[in-house]
Amino acid sequence: TYLNDFWEKGRSDGEEQSGEQQQQRASPARPSFGKKQLPSIPKNAVPITKPASPAATAQLANGTHASYGPFYLEYSLLAEFTLVIKQKLPGIYVQPSYKSALMWFGVIFIRHGLYQDGVFKFTVYIPDNYPDGECPRVVFDIPVFHPLVDPVSGELDVRRAFTKWRRNHNHIWQVLMYARTVFYKINTMEPLNPEAAVLYDKDVQLFKSKVVDSVKLCNSHLFDQPKMDDPYAISFSSWNPAIHDEAKERMFSHKRRPEDHQKGLPVSGLSWVKPGSTQPFSKDDNPPLS
């Protein structure tokens, strides 16, 4: 349980950092240079897909889309990711994979209810014609015993909540939110796991014990190697003071860092506008000029 706490704190921290890394990856760091220098090819090449929706292609008649489309997709996903960070969803942590922005690794902590103490790892797959395609898919690493989770593939039935994925209205954080909700509010309609649905409706006690078993099973595999060989895959390890103490220390001190960071930098911006005014030099502490 301490581990869980640690993880939660840790993730929120790591998430920010990895978000940073991820973004930098999108536009690789380079010394100041002239534009025409041939850049090294990014290791995680920007994912591309077949051209986006026909509508979009038609709109961009002269072929610029072919060259820039991947950038649009990448930035759309980055925007989604920043939105997830902003939402601060309780108990949910995600991180785009190193290899592709279309695949996000995640973990969800269930803090109460039937699935209490469950720690479920999952992967989000985003269609490559995003945002004009289907709803993103959520697949648990280990199929949790749940009416809406496929007992074989571990895929959560997300599409029932997002029958039609609408750009600008639907966002990936909503999918994650939904993935969390299913563990608190059980729905047995049109189940992917009929056994779980039936048990829940007919024999809650048995359902509960099956859930406990499933939670135990999932948690027992917590320290397993990530299913995917990806540097950004989420992996758990048991507490190792040599590594984690220091990391924990850093995380706790991280909170203070932004201010310190700012203090070090010279304040580059200027303002003498009094809040609430739109007059230049309206602040009271302006030295008199005459």
Partner 1 sequence: MVANGNRDGRQGEALVLKGVDPETCMIVFKNHWAQVVKILEKHDPLRSNTSSNMASAVQNYVEHMLFLLMEEDAGQAGAMGPILEFVVMENVMERLFLWSLRRQFTDDMKLEQLKMYEMIVGQARQPLLHHKPVLRPLMMLLSSCSGTAGPEVEAELVSLLNQLCCVLAKDQSVLELFFHTSEDQGAANFLIFSLLIPFIHREGLVGQQARDALLLIMSLSAENQRVAQHIAENTYFCPVLATGLSGLYSSLPTKLEVPGEEWHCLHREDWLQMPTLVQFLNSLEFCNAVIQVAHPSIRDQLVSYIYNGFLVPVLAPALHKLTLEEVMTTTAYLDLFVRSVSEPILLQTFLSFILLHRHENVHILDTLVSRINTPFQLGTVSLALFQTLIGLYCEDVMLQLILRYLIPCNHMMLSQRRVVKERDFYSVSAAKILALTPSCCSPEHSPPPLRQLDSILWSKGTDNSPNTDPSGDHPPPHQEHAQIYLDVNYLHYLYNARLGISSCTRACQVWSAPYDGEDPPPEEYQPSALEEAGARGRQAQTVNPKRSHPHPRPRPPCPPQTTDPAPTNQLELEWDDSYDAGPVVPPEAATAESSRPPQPPAAEPPKHIQEMRRTAIMLVKGSYIEESDFQDDVMVYDLVAKKDARDTVDRRRPSRETLPESDMDSEFTLEEDHFKVSSLQEKDEVPLSNGLSLPPHPTNMEVNSLEVTKGSKEVKAHVADHNSNLQSPLATEVGDDLMDQYEELIRTLGSDEAGTGGSSHVKTVDKEFRNPVVTPMEEDEVDFSSFSVDTPELEKQHSSLFGTKLRSGSTRSHSVPFTGPFVSVLLSRLENMLDNSLHVNLLLTGILAQLAAYPQPLLQSFLLNTNMVFQPSVRSLYQVLASLKNQIEQQASTKKDFPELITSAQHCLLARESSLKGQDTNSGDSRECSPLEAGRMMKSSPPPQPKTISLARTEVFATVLFTEFLKELAAIAQEHSILSHVPMEE
**Residues 29-88, interacting with partner 1 (CB under 8 A):** 29-30, 32-39, 41-42, 44-49, 56, 59-68, 70-72, 75-76, 78-80, 82-83, 85-86
Instruction: Decide whether 118 or 154 has the Cβ nearer to partner 1.
Output: 154
Peptide bond into 131 cis (omega under 30): yes
Query: Considering only 27-35, 110-118, 197-205, 241-249, which stretch makes contact with partner 1 by CB under 8 A?
Result: 27-35
Query: Considering only 201-209, 210-218, 234-242, 265-273, which stretch makes contact with partner 1 by CB under 8 A?
Result: 265-273
3-class secondary-structure state, position 8: helix
Instruction: Decide whether 209 or 286 has the Cβ nearer to partner 1.
Output: 286
Place of tokens 């992917």: 192
Stated as kind and residue range, the H or E segment containing 206 is helix 204-220
- The CA dihedral of 248, 251, 253, 255, to the nearest 10 degrees, is -150
Place of tokens 């496929």: 150
248 CB neighbour count, 10 Å cutoff: 16
**In the bound complex, what is the minimum distance in angstroms from residue 69's beta carbon to partner 1?**
8
The residues facing 138 across adjacent strands are 124, 156
How many residues lie near partner 1 (CB under 8 A)? 99
Query: Considering only 124-132, 173-181, 207-215, 216-224, which stretch makes contact with partner 1 by CB under 8 A?
Result: 124-132
**In the bound complex, what is the minimum distance in angstroms from residue 2's beta carbon to partner 1?**
26
Place of tokens 């029932």: 160
**In the bound complex, what is the minimum distance in angstroms from residue 67's beta carbon to partner 1?**
4
Residues 165-184 interacting with partner 1 (rule: CB under 8 A):
167-168, 171
Best CA proximity match to 271, nearest among 289, 286, 259: 286
Instruction: Decide whether 153 or 237 has the Cβ nearer to partner 1.
Output: 153
Stated as kind and residue range, the H or E segment containing 110 is none
The letter for the amino acid at 46 is V
Instruction: Decide whether 159 or 248 has the Cβ nearer to partner 1.
Output: 159
Q: Does 238 bind partner 1 (CB under 8 A)?
A: no
